[in-house]
Amino acid sequence: MCGIVGYVGRQKAAAIMLEGLKRLEYRGYDSAGLAVLQGDGITLVKSIGRVAALAKLASSRKLSGTCGISHTRWATHGGVTDANAHPHVSSDGQIALVHNGVIENYVHMKRFLLEKGYTFKSETDTEVLANLIAYHYAKQPAVNGEGSRFLEAVRKTLLHVEGTYGIAVLSPAHPGEMVAARKGSPLILGVGEHEHLIASDVSALVSRTQNVVYLKDGELVHITPAGFTLSTLDLADVSPVIDQVTWSVDEAELGEHPHFMRKEIFEQPLALENAMRGRFSADGSSANFGGLNLTPADFRTIDRFVFTSCGTGWHACLVAEHLIERFARIPVEVDYASEFRYRNAPLDRDALFFVISQSGETIDTLAALREAKRKGYKCMAICNVVGSTIAREADGGIYQHAGPEIGVASTKAFTSQLLISAMFALYVARMRDMSFADGVEYIAGLKAVPDLARRVLEQAPHIQNIALRYAKYNDFLFLGRLSLFPIALEGALKLKEISYIHAEGYPAAEMKHGPIALISDQCPSVFLVPKGELFNKVLSSMQEIKARKGLIIAIVPENLELPEGLADEVITIPDCHEAALPILATIPVQLLSYYIAVARGCDVDKPRNLAKSVTVE
């Protein structure tokens, strides 16, 4: 939800910010803009559309300033117009500001500012912040030098703000200075040689520095080329902790791939290896999770797990539920984070909470985590982004180590969440009734997954051919059972979000309780066929579809044979351990959605209306 990049240093800010913005485009791509300090004032360039449009416009301007702020927008307040694009400048020209988040009490503040004579050009909540900082700046006497006056004006403004923000602020009265602050929206300071950067995500910083400070909620930073000072809204000094980013800029590049989504689908074997690395016990029968900060004795007292997340992460929770209940026989409850935070659900006394979040910044998931903690529950996080807010606020957790995921549709992060869930199910199962021998076999099954995933990926050309034949349909059903039901949901979500095709996921047997009414020769069904006792049941569901002239794409374990002519298309997946099945079954639905979206000419990495990291409610 919106990306921010700011630069203070000795180089021209515009080019550096534009490069950073390109890497943040996945956070929003309605419009983009930048402001640099040069001469005595602010030079502003804004454009609706992508960062490329802004870059084109910027190239026609002389932008030599070495201090700037920039933004790529995902619209919340106000439509997609040049006027609503950030940065916003106060009506007295003294303050320029970019913002990620939502200011909830902006109507009240706007009324106050209008009475004071400030004017507005946009419909955004952000412009209110720019004017309010200008108001406090005008009122503020110089204390301990001019820099403090600027910082103090920002601080005073933020004391009146309700809502969420990551902001970066400039003033032409303070060349070579920037103030940034966060509450509820991510903001990271990059510490370079004679330069500092501010950004919503490390991917926008890594080409210039690997040294970063993750700002915490309620912190402000005053930045110059030579240094920075960190403080809180209530004026306490903060000693900065400088972290090292462990991945390089190459990992966030497309390489030979036309889209990040394709790249990330093909990176899955590696991401799966990374999720497992060093996480099996010495005796080879269980898993190890150093970051959970809980002893086996602690786990013995837990009588229920509650998993919450959003979107694709919620599907991972459903798989975790199935695996933990199946192998460890411990009850699991799954809730949408957005519902949990308001549901005031009655909870067991000895429940342990888990949130799953690739980005670690999803506002609903963060709010669910805070609600669980407020009620006194321990809360663990399964997270991909190191140092993210959720990772930092959780009591413990498991990092995914999947590498940066840039494509808006989650792929490698999802399968890595499934693998971690499978390992966690093993971990708790081995504390209960799972035998040593079954634990050893389970691990062998998981260790085989990366190579089996490579074998599924080899079918990409076959799946592409199927996609070309089916790209013309506008309705799809995805059907699966038990651990494959969440994969049916995930397949439907992938297809709708990147190709705008209507798709629904159902447990296969539920199909005849309503969705079967959709079936015709214009609504194909994608069946995720299980092995074991439900195989024949799913075949019956397929027969019911065929009897109504429905088309069937079947994803089938390779040792199972379907009756001749039952499926129109067959994609096989290698035989595997039961705990690995959801992972391998996911890859074909990802590829199918990807190739259908490409065939329909959709922008798969930046689907309409979406942004990768949903940091507003």
Residue 2 annotated among the catalytic residues of the structure: yes
Residue nearest to ligand F6R (CB): 311
* Alpha-carbon dihedral 383, 386, 391, 392, rounded to 10 degrees: 180
Q: Kind of pairing, strands 219-223 and 178-183?
A: antiparallel
Cross-strand pairs, 144: none
Tokens representing residue 525 in the block: 């069904």
Tokens representing residue 588 in the block: 């074909």
The binding track of 38-67 with respect to ligand F6R, each residue x by CB under 6 A or -, is: ------------------------------
Smallest gap from Cβ 555 to ligand F6R, in A, equals 19
- For the chain, the maximum distance between any two Cα atoms, rounded to a whole number of angstroms, is 84
Distance CA 106, CA 109 (A): 5
For ligand F6R, give the closer residue by CB, 336 or 377.
336
**224 binding ligand F6R? (CB under 6 A):** no
For ligand F6R, give the closer residue by CB, 137 or 353.
353
For ligand F6R, give the closer residue by CB, 286 or 400.
400
Q: One of 46, 110, 412, 612 is an active-site residue; which one?
A: 612
Distance CA 584, CA 573 (A): 7
Pick from 365, 541, 590, 615 the residue near ligand F6R by CB under 6 A: 365
Provide the strand spans (E) within 74-134. 88-89, 96-100
For 502-545, the DSSP string reads: EEEEEEGGGGGGTGGGG-STTS-EEEE---GGGHHHHHHHHHHH
Pick from 47, 100, 122, 357 the residue near ligand F6R by CB under 6 A: 357
Residue 494 annotated among the catalytic residues of the structure: no
**90 binding ligand F6R? (CB under 6 A):** no
**Footprint on residues 378-417 left by ligand F6R (CB under 6 A):** 409-410
For ligand F6R, give the closer residue by CB, 70 or 358.
358
What order do you get walking across the sheet with 304-309 strand by strand? Answer: 332-336, 304-309, 351-357, 379-383, 396-399
Considering only 69-77, 243-251, 359-367, 506-514, which stretch makes contact with ligand F6R by CB under 6 A?
359-367
Considering only 54-62, 218-226, 357-365, 443-451, which stretch makes contact with ligand F6R by CB under 6 A?
357-365
For ligand F6R, give the closer residue by CB, 129 or 382.
382
Considering only 174-182, 260-268, 355-363, 599-607, which stretch makes contact with ligand F6R by CB under 6 A?
355-363
Tokens representing residue 466 in the block: 């199927």
Smallest gap from Cβ 334 to ligand F6R, in A, equals 14
**358 binding ligand F6R? (CB under 6 A):** yes
Nearest residue to 403 (alpha-carbon basis) of 395, 413, 393:
413
Q: What burial class does residue 142 get, using C-beta atoms within 10 Å of its C-beta: 0-12 exposed, 13-18 middle, 19+ buried?
A: exposed
For ligand F6R, give the closer residue by CB, 66 or 410.
410
Distance CA 372, CA 356 (A): 14
* Whole-number Cα distances in Å, 79 to 3, 41, 48, 124, 408: 17, 28, 10, 9, 21
Residue type for 189, please? L
Smallest gap from Cβ 493 to ligand F6R, in A, equals 6
Pick from 362, 415, 499, 525 the residue near ligand F6R by CB under 6 A: 362
**497 binding ligand F6R? (CB under 6 A):** yes
For ligand F6R, give the closer residue by CB, 38 or 615.
615
Pick from 359, 389, 416, 421 the residue near ligand F6R by CB under 6 A: 359
SS3 358: coil
Smallest gap from Cβ 616 to ligand F6R, in A, equals 12
Q: One of 2, 67, 317, 379 is an active-site residue; which one?
A: 2
Nearest residue to 37 (alpha-carbon basis) of 5, 68, 15, 10:
68
For ligand F6R, give the closer residue by CB, 186 or 530.
186
For ligand F6R, give the closer residue by CB, 493 or 589.
493
Smallest gap from Cβ 365 to ligand F6R, in A, equals 5
For 360-372, the DSSP string reads: S--HHHHHHHHHH
Smallest gap from Cβ 320 to ligand F6R, in A, equals 14
Smallest gap from Cβ 410 to ligand F6R, in A, equals 3
**Footprint on residues 306-335 left by ligand F6R (CB under 6 A):** 310-313
The binding track of 274-303 with respect to ligand F6R, each residue x by CB under 6 A or -, is: ------------------------------
Pick from 170, 181, 614, 616 the residue near ligand F6R by CB under 6 A: 614
Contacts by 545-550, CB closer than 8 A, 24 or more apart: 545/511, 545/516, 545/519, 548/516, 548/519, 548/520, 549/519, 549/520, 549/521, 550/519, 550/520, 550/521, 550/523, 550/524, 550/525
Smallest gap from Cβ 358 to ligand F6R, in A, equals 3
Tell me the site size for ligand F6R, rule CB under 6 A: 15
Tokens representing residue 299 in the block: 């786990």
CB 51 within 8 A of CB 15: no
Contacts by 341-344, CB closer than 8 A, 24 or more apart: 341/367, 341/368, 341/371
Residues designated catalytic: 2, 612
Task: Name the residues that contact ligand F6R, by CB under 6 A.
Answer: 310-313, 357-359, 362, 365, 409-410, 493, 497, 613-614
